[in-house]
Amino acid sequence: MPELLSVKNLRKYFPVKKKFLKAVDNVSFSLEQGETLGLVGESGSGKSTLGRSILRLIEPDAGEIIFDGVDLRKLKGEELRQKRRFMQIIFQDPLASLNPMMTIGQNIEDPLIIHNIGTREERRRAVEELLDIVGLGREVIDAFPYEFSGGQQQRVGIARALALNPKFIVADEPVSSLDVSIQAQIVSLLYELKRRFKISYLFISHDLAVVRYLSDKVAVMYLGTIVEMAPKEELYTNPLHPYTRALLASVPKMPRDGERQRRFSALKGEVPSPIDLPQGCRFQSRCEYVMETCRKQEPAFREVSPGHFVACHLV
């Protein structure tokens, strides 16, 4: 499959007093058309900033974003706006992402109006079709977002994102704020859409289980860099980076054959501040295998087996 997106050495630093918060620090990855990359990380990992930087909702400081053959960073004004048709975003808080003064129908229709697509009739039909695709009835068209539940609002958000037929969607923790049973519905929906429309997702989440379900490839972020990236099955069955292993171990698993977990394997300490990063590997303060080299030199992000990249001195 042709390569859709190639991110090279992306950087975004936020100035904080005299220092820098290195939110995204030299991140590179690529994505093929139809492929979904799951981006996992805890707070401070920079995953949200990365997602928004790729779309230039936040302006990156350095790096290349080659989307469909064009470097997005070199586009200006109208050209960028035109390109936006093909890359969309779904937000974590569905209510906050919809214009409260516009009806559901108007919210979904807006992308078509913005890009001057279709007549009023055609747009109306498109809205109805989109509602169908996301599993909402047509009676919601004239209602307002706040009247609905989180799950329904998120479906509206998804419908709006699909309106322009994008090739790439950044899904920024789209189910984190939803109830468990609704999460499952939305995840199912996203899965269906992926299969049906061959959309590429950058699926950002802290939930390893959801990521496993939807992704083809998974990248783990810690304090602004990707520490490990591999095809899904490989990452979950053969995690190499100590942080990845710790993440996987700290998630409660469905008890099998009465095997319950009263205690959970826990990483010591907490995520340090991304402002004052230590020299060397960012993970040193919490790593149980830390060595001298780790404190001196930042490990390089290398391919250790086909498609499996790690940044760790131990590997």
Partner 1 sequence: MAELLIVNNLKTYFDRYDGVVKAVDGISYKVNYGETLAIVGESGSGKTVSVLSLLRLIKRNGRIVDGEAIFDGKDLLKLNKEELRQVRGKDISIVFQDPMTSLNPIMRVGIQIMEPILWHRVMSDKEARERAIELLRLVGIPEYKTRVWDYPFQFSGGMRQRVMIAIALACNPKLVIADEPTTALDVTVRAQILNLLSDMKEEFKTSVIFITHDITLAMNFADTIMVMYAGKIAEYASAEKFIRNPLHPYSQGLISSTLDINAKEGTLRPIPGNPPSLVNPPSGCRFHPRCSYAQDICREVEPEYKEVEDGHFVACHLVKGGKFNA
Partner 2 sequence: MEVAINRKVKRTSYWSSAWRRFKRNKMAVAGLIYIIIIIIVSIFTPWIAPYPYDEPHYAHTFEKPSAKFWWGTDDLGRDMFSRNLYAMRNALLVGFGSQIVVLIIGVIIGSIAGYRGGLVDTLLMRITDIMYAFPTFLFNVILVTVMGRGLFTILVAVGLTGWAGMARLIRGMVMYLKHAEFVEAARALGAKESYIIRKYILPNMLGPIIVSLAFGIPNGIWIEAGLALIGMGVRPPMPSWGNMIGAGIGYIMAFPHMVVFPVLTFALTLLAFTYVGDGLRDALNPRSEV
Q: Which residues of the shown chain bind partner 2 in the complex (CB under 8 A)?
A: 55, 57, 81-82, 84-85, 88-89, 91, 93, 96-103, 110-111, 114-115, 135-137, 139-140, 142-144, 146-147, 152, 157, 160, 164, 185, 188-189, 192
Helix (H) or strand (E) holding 295: helix 292-296
Closest distance to partner 1 from the beta carbon of 177 (Å): 10
- For 287, the token pair is 């790593």
Q: Which stretch binds partner 1 (CB under 8 A): 28-36, 86-94, 101-109, 262-270?
A: 262-270
x/- contact string, 10-39, with partner 1 (CB under 8 A)? ------------------------------
Candidate residues 116, 121, 266, 306; the one interacting with partner 1 per rule CB under 8 A:
266
- For 80, the token pair is 């960028």
Residue 261 binds to partner 1 (criterion: CB under 8 A): yes
> Which residue, 45 or 88, is less far from partner 1 as judged by CB?
45
* Residue 275 contact among partner 1, partner 2, none, beta carbon within 5 to 8 Å by kind: none
> Which residue, 187 or 310, is less far from partner 2 as judged by CB?
187
Residue 43 binds to partner 1 (criterion: CB under 8 A): yes
Give bridge partners of residue 25 from the DSSP assignment: 11
> Which residue, 44 or 111, is less far from partner 2 as judged by CB?
111
Q: How far apart are CA 137 and CA 258, in angstroms?
A: 42
Candidate residues 2, 263, 292, 306; the one interacting with partner 1 per rule CB under 8 A:
263
* Residue 215 contact among partner 1, partner 2, none, beta carbon within 5 to 8 Å by kind: none
Q: How far apart are CA 86 and CA 68, in angstroms?
A: 9
Residue 271 binds to partner 1 (criterion: CB under 8 A): yes
* Residue 218 contact among partner 1, partner 2, none, beta carbon within 5 to 8 Å by kind: none
| Binding to partner 1 in span 185-214, by CB under 8 A | 185, 187-188, 191, 206-210, 212-213
- For 214, the token pair is 């939807």
156 and 98 in contact (C-beta within 8 Å)?
A: yes
Question: Which residues, at least 6 apart from 240, have a Cβ–Cβ distance to it below 8 Å?
Answer: 228, 304, 308, 310, 312, 315
Position of tokens 């058309």? 33
> Which residue, 101 or 254, is less far from partner 1 as judged by CB?
254
Q: How far is CA 306 from CA 39, 234, 237, 303, in A?
A: 19, 10, 15, 7
Query: Three-state secondary structure along 208-235?
Result: HHHHHHHCCEEEEEECCEEEEEEEHHHH
- For 274, the token pair is 């991304």
> Which residue, 98 or 227, is less far from partner 2 as judged by CB?
98
Side-by-side strand order, sheet with 62-67: 19-32, 3-16, 62-67, 70-71
CB atoms within 10 A of CB 231: 15
The contact set with partner 1 (CB under 8 A) reads 42-43, 149, 151-152, 179-185, 187-188, 191, 206-210, 212-213, 236, 246-255, 258, 260-268, 270-271
